[in-house]
């Protein structure tokens, strides 16, 4: 049986499409960023900007994680009303995240490293990966077996924190919790840029991109779910979508220029702000309106990539690291993508959702075929300006 999270995602196809766009951007960035990030390198074009800033797809993953996790709590379908609800939540998250993570980490640790069975370092590494504590150290933040695991470590620790955030929202209201999350994240990112400077510039570090440095993305995703549950928007959908996309593009350009040395290093702490604001505006516009754009974002290939994005993310980095010397001609890069998607499919089908007997249940649904999305188009859409204000939930 599909997990509740899996079912929730499949009922909103545009979220699958957005995840698909995010994983494609991340894979492209990891494939070609070395060509585009050097100071004085090629001029900015859409492809070179994507090569420099495609990693921002991880920001979208964090945002959508907050959105999807909080949606049933925003609608009142669930609450943390006792130990049983807390255990149930942690059980769902463990079943969703841990099987494929543990499988990939164990395979890579045993068969791509030089550890021996009599080496105590092997067992220390096993404990680090089992508990995801590698994200707390500068030396291990990018694990040697799979440097992409840093974001999964952050995701796992946010899952542990999530009930406390939900309870805080219920007790203190949205405004206070959101302000604290935004200020905390900004301060942590500034601290990371000041304490851990890198040369050549490396956008990620274990302080700036820790759980608390990325807390604003999860919190804004949760806010997006709260707005969606009440069909609230800042402006009318087309205008809001245009503003959101403009902010996303502006942030990507800023990061691309930062990589090239245009801005002082600590200023990078600010560049997530327009991107995350753009995510809130864009996702909110798409889940509430903008049907023509929703159809484009929800095409089958993007949805399928989005549904498989967890497995694609876990496997693409070690594969491209192994084949990097031959991955940049057209034919070899197509072979790399084919191999990545093939391995990701088996991982998605047999590890993530091995208990699902009918594989067709794991394929994308059309907008018309979903239970929640079609009625949404017939409901009245409200803007925050129309409703007066956004009251704190709780």
- H or E element at residue 54: none
Closest CA to 228 of 283, 153, 162: 283
Q: What per-residue confidence (pLDDT) applies to 17? A: 96
Q: Which residues of 11-20 are buried (b: 16+ CB within 10 A; e: fewer)?
A: bbbbbbbbbb
What are the DSSP E strand ranges found in 3-71? Answer: none
- Separation of alpha carbons 154 and 284, rounded Å: 24
- What pTM was computed for the model? 0.89
| pLDDT value, residue 383 | 38
* Geometric angle at alpha carbon 14, from 366 and 394, rounded to 5°: 125
Residue 388 burial (CB count, 10 A): 7
Token readout for 115 is: 């550890």
The answer to whether 77 and 18 are in contact (CB under 8 A) is no
Task: For the chain, 394 residues long, give each residue's pLDDT as a single digit of tens.
Answer: 334 444 444 468 999 999 999 999 999 998 887 776 554 555 778 878 888 889 999 999 999 999 999 999 999 999 999 899 999 999 999 999 999 999 999 999 999 988 898 899 999 999 999 999 999 999 999 999 999 999 999 999 999 999 999 999 999 999 999 999 999 999 999 999 999 876 666 778 899 999 999 999 999 999 999 999 999 988 899 999 999 999 999 999 999 888 888 888 889 999 999 999 999 999 999 998 899 999 999 999 999 999 999 999 999 999 988 886 555 688 888 899 999 999 999 999 999 999 999 999 999 976 654 334 443 333 333 433 333 333 333 3
Question: By C-alpha distance, which of 184, 127, 141, 139 is closest to 161?
Answer: 184
Integer CA distances (angstroms), 53 to 36, 57, 119, 149, in order: 10, 8, 39, 18
- Say which residues have a Cβ less than 8 Å from residue 214's Cβ, sequence separation at least 6: 59, 62, 154, 158, 185
Q: Check residue 169 and give its pLDDT.
A: 96
Which is nearest to 392 in space by CA: 168, 236, 212, 216?
168
Beta carbons within 10 angstroms of residue 113's beta carbon:
14
| Nearest C-alpha neighbor of 152 from the set 58, 233, 245, 47 | 58
CA torsion sign for 365, 4, 316, 221 is positive
Terminal-residue alpha carbon distance, the chain: 32
Q: Which pair of tokens denotes residue 386?
A: 């129309």
């Amino acid at each position: 049986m599909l997990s509740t999270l899996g079912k929730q995602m499949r009922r909103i196809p545009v979220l699958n499409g957005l995840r698909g766009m995010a994983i494609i951007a991340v894979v492209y960035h990891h494939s070609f960023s070395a060509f585009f990030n050097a100071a004085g390198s090629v001029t900015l074009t859409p492809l070179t900007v994507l090569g420099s800033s495609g990693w921002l797809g991880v920001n979208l993953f964090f945002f959508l994680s907050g959105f999807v996790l909080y949606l049933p709590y925003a609608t009142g379908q669930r609450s943390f009303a006792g130990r049983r609800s807390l255990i149930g939540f942690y059980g769902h998250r463990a079943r969703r995240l841990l099987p494929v993570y543990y499988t990939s980490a164990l395979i890579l640790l045993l068969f791509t490293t030089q550890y021996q069975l009599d080496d105590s370092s092997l067992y220390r590494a096993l404990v680090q990966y089992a508990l995801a504590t590698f994200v707390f150290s500068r030396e291990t933040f990018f694990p040697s077996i799979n440097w992409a695991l840093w974001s999964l470590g952050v995701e796992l620790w946010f899952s542990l924190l999530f009930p406390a955030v939900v309870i805080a929202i219920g007790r203190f209201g949205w405004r206070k919790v959101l302000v604290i999350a935004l200020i905390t994240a900004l301060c942590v990112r500034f601290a990371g840029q000041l304490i851990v400077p890198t040369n050549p510039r490396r956008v990620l570090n274990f302080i700036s991109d820790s759980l608390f440095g990325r807390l604003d993305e999860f919190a804004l995703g949760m806010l997006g779910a709260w707005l969606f549950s009440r069909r609230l928007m800042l402006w009318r959908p087309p205008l809001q979508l245009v503003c959101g996309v403009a902010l996303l593009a502006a942030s990507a350009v800023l990061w691309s220029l930062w990589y090239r040395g245009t801005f002082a290093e600590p200023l990078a702490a600010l560049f997530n702000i327009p991107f995350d604001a753009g995510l809130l505006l864009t996702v909110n516009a798409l889940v509430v309106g903008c049907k023509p754009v929703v159809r484009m974002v929800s095409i089958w290939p993007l949805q399928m990539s989005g549904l498989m994005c967890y497995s694609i993310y876990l496997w693409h980095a070690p594969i491209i690291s192994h084949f990097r010397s031959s991955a940049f001609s057209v034919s070899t890069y197509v072979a790399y993508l084919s191999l990545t998607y093939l391995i990701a499919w088996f991982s998605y089908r047999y590890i993530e959702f091995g208990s699902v007997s009918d594989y067709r249940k794991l394929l994308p649904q059309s907008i018309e075929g979903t239970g929640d999305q079609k009625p949404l188009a017939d409901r009245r859409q409200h803007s925050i300006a129309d409703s007066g204000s956004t009251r704190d939930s709780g």
